[in-house]
Structures are given as C-alpha cells and as structure tokens.
Amino acid sequence: MSSKQDEQDSKPGTTDEAADHAETTVLPEDLQPQPLAELEQTVEEALAEAMATAEENWSKYLRVVAELDNLRKRHTRELENARRYGVEGLATELLSVADSLEMALETGVQAPAETLLKGGQATLKQLQAAMEKYGVKVVSPEGEPFDPEFHEAMSMQPSATAEPDSVLTVVQRGYELNGRLLRPARVIVAKAPD
C-alpha cells in the first residue's frame, strides 16, 4: 500500500500541486476586482444611460399614441363626410334629370304628344347615363335562363317558342350596383306547353 501512495505522491498534478496552481491563476484585466468607488460610478453611468433610454422611449410612445389618436379622429371625420356627401356626384347628375322633368311638366299642357314622348325618352337616357356613370347597371334578362339570385319570378307561362325555365317577359327591370344586386328583375318564366 505504501508503494502506491509513493507513486501518487511522485506523479505531477497531485492535489497539493493543483491547489497551489489555482491560487496563482491571474484573472484577465476586465475581470479584476474594481475599487468600490469605480464600481459605483460605473453603475451610476449605466443607470443614467438606462434612464435616458427609458425617457426617449416614453417620448416616442407618447408621440405614437398622439399620432394614432389624430389618425383615428381624421378617419372618423372622413368616414362621416363620406356618409354625408358620398352621393354628391350622383345627386349632381340627377339634377339635370330633374330639370328635364320639370320642363316637360311645364310645357306638357301645350306640347304635342310626340314632343312629350321624345322629351321623356331624352330624360330617360340622361338618367341611365347618370346611373351607368356611378356603376348602376340594368338587369333585363329577357330570353336568358331564369336565375333566382338576380330574378324574381312573378308567374310561369306555357310557351312553345321559349326554352322552359327561361325568362319569357320582364315585368320590371332589376338593377345592380358594381356587381351587387340592388333590385331583382321581376319576370315571367317560360314553361313547357301543356
């Protein structure tokens, strides 16, 4: 047993040598202990820097909140104006139609029927042009297959000439606004003869 102990004692790196080696290890310069005054100054500088950053971030936050509030108020005003005056262009276009109708009524007693008819047709063209300008399209499906999404069937009528389930007659035209149905066309649908 003593020979084993002698071998261990003679080997380099025994526990006593490791302890001596650990005590002599030199720390890098940035990890050397600092005097207390220097440490306090470093902490105060870091704190001052953090406080300045926090103050700057708080100011940015307040500016963003104010901008968002202004944006929300402006959006609300614009939305309200769009609701109030969104039909201003259409209303302006309809004024000329109203003027034409008033003139027709004023001269209607004295004018011959043919003149009144031509005036009525011109007024209708004005109205249709104004509606088309604002995306209102006429739905007049005569001869087309019946589509319950765009047509309202008033009745069915036997027909030898028209395809079954097609629109035989349009009772009242329908209208779309930019592809969205405003009013379905009221129609009479063809069915096979009895």
Q: pTM here?
A: 0.56
Strand-by-strand arrangement of the 174-177 sheet:
136-139, 174-177, 180-183
103 with 129, same domain: the answer is yes
* Strand blocks (E) in the chain: 136-139, 151-158, 167-172, 174-177, 180-183, 185-191
State residue 90's pLDDT score. 83
- For residue 181, tell me if it sits in a domain: yes
Distance of alpha carbon 173 from alpha carbon 128, whole angstroms: 13
pLDDT in tens, 33-72: 667 778 888 899 999 999 999 999 999 999 999 999 999 9
State residue 32's pLDDT score. 62
148 with 122, same domain: the answer is no
- For residue 97, tell me if it sits in a domain: yes
Distance of alpha carbon 11 from alpha carbon 6, whole angstroms: 9
93 with 77, same domain: the answer is no
Contacts of 4 (CB under 8 A, 6+ apart): none
Distance of alpha carbon 100 from alpha carbon 116, whole angstroms: 11
Per-residue pLDDT in tens (0 to 9) along the chain, 194 residues: 455 555 555 555 455 555 555 566 665 666 666 677 788 888 999 999 999 999 999 999 999 999 999 999 999 999 998 888 888 888 888 898 898 888 888 887 788 888 888 888 999 999 999 899 889 999 989 999 999 999 999 999 999 898 899 999 999 999 999 889 999 999 999 998 87
44 with 71, same domain: the answer is yes
- For residue 154, tell me if it sits in a domain: yes
Distance of alpha carbon 188 from alpha carbon 173, whole angstroms: 12
- When divided into structural domains, the chain yields a total of 3
Distance of alpha carbon 153 from alpha carbon 67, whole angstroms: 54
Contact present, 150 and 185 (Cβ < 8 Å): yes
- For residue 159, tell me if it sits in a domain: yes
Distance of alpha carbon 136 from alpha carbon 181, whole angstroms: 9
181 with 192, same domain: the answer is yes
97 with 150, same domain: the answer is no
96 with 49, same domain: the answer is no
State residue 73's pLDDT score. 97
State residue 188's pLDDT score. 95
State residue 20's pLDDT score. 53
186 with 152, same domain: the answer is yes
DSSP 112-137: -HHHHHHHHHHHHHHHHHHHHHTTEE
- For residue 4, tell me if it sits in a domain: no
**Residue 174 belongs to what domain range?**
135-194
